[in-house]
Amino acid sequence: MTQFGYTVPTTWQGWQTLGEEVATQHPGYIVGSVGDNWDDDIYLWPSECHVDDVVKTDTIDINAADPNCTRATALIDPLIKDGAVTTDSVFSSTFGTTYNNKILMMVGPAWYGQYLFPGIVTKGDLAVADPLSWGSGATVTGEVGGGLWFMSSHVTGAAKTLTASILTWLSTSYGSQGISPGYPAYVADETPWIAGQQASGLYSNQIAPVFAKAATEVWSGWSPVPWSTDSVFGSTVVTGLNSGSTMSSQLAGFASQLADFAQSDGYTVVTTP
Amino acid sequence: MKSVESSEPSTPLVSTDSLSSPLRRKRKKGVAGYAVVSGYFVLLILFGVAPAIYAITLAFTASGGHFTGLTNFIKTGEDFRFLPAFENVGKYLFIWLASLVVIVLGLALMLHSIARRVSAAFRFIFYLPGALAGAASVLVWLFMLDPTVSPWRLFLGIFGFKNLGQTILPGHLPLIFAIIAFWAGAGGWIVVTYGALNNIPNELIEAAQLDGAGAIQTALRIKLPLIKKWIVFMLILAFAAGTQLFVEPQLVGEASLGLISPTWSPNELAYYFAFQDNNFNYAAAISVDLLVIGLLCAAVLVFRTKLFEVE
């Protein structure tokens, strides 16, 4: 960024402007990617797009026409066209060689640090910045991965206590959280986890304030549901992009299939304008 | 059936006892036959019939075990993924069965008409891809289909495919899976069909040639009608296996990190219901749908072609 004379954007609009500049001034460099099924978590969730909002028990709000959804896709489509945002999967076999030291910016989860970037980005060349905002309103972000632990209602007696203790260990102990490249959900594990990441030497700036703040900014309007929103995004939007379509034109199909899944699982689908 | 018939004349006529009591000999033969079949029969009951009965029971009941009639069939039939899944597999089957009949028969007939010594080498080559078992052959294809690592990247590039996602677009999948199935399965069928062609008495072919039939006429008017039952047998098995397509879409879906719907084929949909939605009854209903379709098609082919009739 310093070498090209750019400053790190703080808003999505700023990110797009910079992306357009990169496409003209430094073709081949990228500022993001939409080639994986979890990219809805990266672009639509932080935009407060209402496609996964369980508003009350068994009622979900899915609205592809929500301006919060269309503003995100309208922002990204030109960047995909210009090549500043790639549609290659970040885990494709050649992503590392194609974009070796060509990733100028990347919007993504904290686990990209240890899981994706080693081998693609030179150690010490990577820095983290606050999640992008939409200019007005509170800054929110999404999250990629994570999940819920369940105990079956069939577990009874002594096994119940043992199951509870293993679930507690899995979700809170640093013994389990510390070995994961994913950001720990349990607050007490944050500090040692961040210290471990910092010590890896991958980052050139202090990640603690950025990560700790971003962890509190995850928008609550995306709910855990029995179907995979990501999987639907992959088989509709990402597949559409691969056939030369745009993100904006795939939104309706994405939402309609989410509604199908919701109804099939017994949810009532509402569309809040 | 054929082998039993053909072994009849070669029975050594050494014992006068055998001549005097053909019935006893027949019974002895029967016992040996049952003994040979029993191993298969036990496995068929354990892993074929019993699970099928279990699936039928599940398909007509709810998770609590009470009878629900056709509810599971209606609910799964109304599901938004049901028709697309059958549509996908229908397209796949059309390509796979058509290519199986045309290319397998073509190659087997060609093999049969060239010298035996050469055809042994060809038979081996045709059979070779089939030696790679199901999942492994799909993994080989994953590399073939990914333009970034494929040895055929130039060829894929001609079609404008730059990454795996572009190769495996939904419209391409039936053809891709048919090619994989053909590559893995056609060799075995070529060998089987070739074996069937070898059963045709030489005198018949020679007689046809004396009457002035060329290679193509001999193939179409003599050889093909005589191996009709083998072709039907191949179609029944290929159809049954084809409707149950699972490994290919499942693995390609996993490898592309979810760019293919996890319910692409009916069998995948059943799997999804069972292990994602925890609804074994719905899964069983779809399995029974597949069973009925397979049995119906087999019945039509068997009765229309008199497959089991021994002349």
Model confidence band, residue B304 (pLDDT cutoffs 50, 70, 90): confident
What chain B holds in terms of domains, given with CATH numbers, is 82-260 (1.10.3720.10)
Judged by CB atoms closer than 8 Å, whether chains meet at B169 and A243 is answered as yes
**Mean pLDDT calculated for residue range A119-144:** 91
Q: Distance, in angstroms, between B170 CA and closest chain A CA?
A: 8
Please name the residue that has the structure tokens 């640093």.
A174
Is the pLDDT at A270 greater than 60, yes or no?
A: yes
Which residues on B lie below 8 Å from A265 (Cβ)? Answer: 277
Closest CA to B61 of B311, B231, B280, B292: B280
Between residues A246 and B25, the one the model is more confident about: A246
pLDDT of res. B115: 62
pLDDT of res. A69: 95
Judged by CB atoms closer than 8 Å, whether chains meet at B259 and A260 is answered as no
pLDDT of res. B8: 39
What DSSP string describes B75-87? Answer: HHHHSTTHHHHHH
The tens digit of pLDDT for each residue in B1-12 reads: 333 334 334 444
Q: Distance, in angstroms, between A97 CA and closest chain B CA?
A: 11
Is the pLDDT at B83 greater than 70, yes or no?
A: yes
Between residues B118 and B86, the one the model is more confident about: B86
Mean pLDDT of chain B: 84
Model confidence band, residue B73 (pLDDT cutoffs 50, 70, 90): very high
Which residues on A lie below 8 Å from B256 (Cβ)? Answer: 89
**Mean pLDDT calculated for residue range B80-101:** 94
Buried b (16+ CB within 10 A) or exposed e, B178-207: bbbbbbbbbbbbbbbbbebbeeeeeeebee
Buried b (16+ CB within 10 A) or exposed e, B228-246: ebbbbbbbbebbbebbbbe
Classify domain A12-146+187-270 by CATH number: 3.40.190.10
Q: Distance, in angstroms, between B248 CA and closest chain A CA?
A: 16
Judged by CB atoms closer than 8 Å, whether chains meet at A242 and B146 is answered as no
Which residues on A lie below 8 Å from B78 (Cβ)? Answer: none
Which residues on B lie below 8 Å from A94 (Cβ)? Answer: 148-149
Closest alpha carbon within chain B to A88: B163
Judged by CB atoms closer than 8 Å, whether chains meet at A239 and B165 is answered as yes
Which tokens sit at A93? 């076999």
What's the pTM value of the predicted model, to 2 decimals? 0.82
Q: Which of A90, A92, A115, A250 to mutate to test the interface with B (most CBs of B within 10 A)?
A: A92
Is the pLDDT at B49 greater than 90, yes or no?
A: yes
Running DSSP on this structure, what letter comes out for residue A130? P
**Total residue count of chain A as it appears in this document:** 273
Model confidence band, residue A119 (pLDDT cutoffs 50, 70, 90): confident
**Nearest residue, CB atoms, A264 vs list B80, B166, B260:** B80
Sign of CA dihedral A50, A54, A56, A61: positive
Which residues on B lie below 8 Å from A36 (Cβ)? Answer: 257
pLDDT of res. A267: 95
The tens digit of pLDDT for each residue in A53-104 reads: 999 999 999 998 999 999 999 999 999 999 999 999 998 878 888 898 899 9
Model confidence band, residue A161 (pLDDT cutoffs 50, 70, 90): very high
Which tokens sit at B154? 């130039």
What DSSP string describes A190-230? Answer: HHHHHHHHHHTT-BSS--HHHHHHHHT-B-TTS---SS-HH
Buried b (16+ CB within 10 A) or exposed e, B53-83: eebeebbbbeeeeeebeebbbebbeebebbe
pLDDT of res. B7: 38
Domain boundaries along the sequence of chain A: 12-146+187-270, 148-181
Residue window 73-102, chain A: list those with CB within 8 Å of chain B.
Answer: 87-89, 91-94
Closest CA to B194 of B216, B219, B212: B219
Is the distance from CB of B123 to CB of B190 less than 8 angstroms?
Answer: yes
Interface check A220 vs B, CB under 8 A: no
Is the pLDDT at B311 greater than 70, yes or no?
A: no
Q: Distance, in angstroms, between A235 CA and closest chain B CA?
A: 5
**Nearest residue, CB atoms, B165 vs list A35, A226, A260:** A35
Q: Which of these ranges, A17-31, A42-56, B218-232, has the smallest mean pLDDT?
A: B218-232
Which residues on B lie below 8 Å from A228 (Cβ)? Answer: 258, 262
pLDDT of res. B2: 39
Judged by CB atoms closer than 8 Å, whether chains meet at A89 and B146 is answered as no
Interface check A191 vs B, CB under 8 A: no
Between residues B3 and A237, the one the model is more confident about: A237
Q: Which of A41, A231, A245 to mutate to test the interface with B (most CBs of B within 10 A)?
A: A231
Q: What is the ipTM of this complex?
A: 0.77
Closest CA to A140 of A43, A52, A61, A51: A43
**Mean pLDDT calculated for residue range A237-253:** 94
Please name the residue that has the structure tokens 């093909």.
B224
Is the pLDDT at B21 greater than 60, yes or no?
A: no
**Nearest residue, CB atoms, B260 vs list A88, A235, A257:** A235
Residues of chain A with pLDDT > 70, as a percent, come to 100
A168, A178, B276, A267: CA torsion to nearest 10 = 70
Closest CA to A228 of A43, A34, A51: A51
Is the distance from CB of A104 to CB of A22 less than 8 angstroms?
Answer: yes
- Give the whole-angstrom CA distance, residue A252 versus residue A65: 8
Contacts of A227 (CB under 8 A, 6+ apart): A258, A261, A262, A265
Interface check A229 vs B, CB under 8 A: no
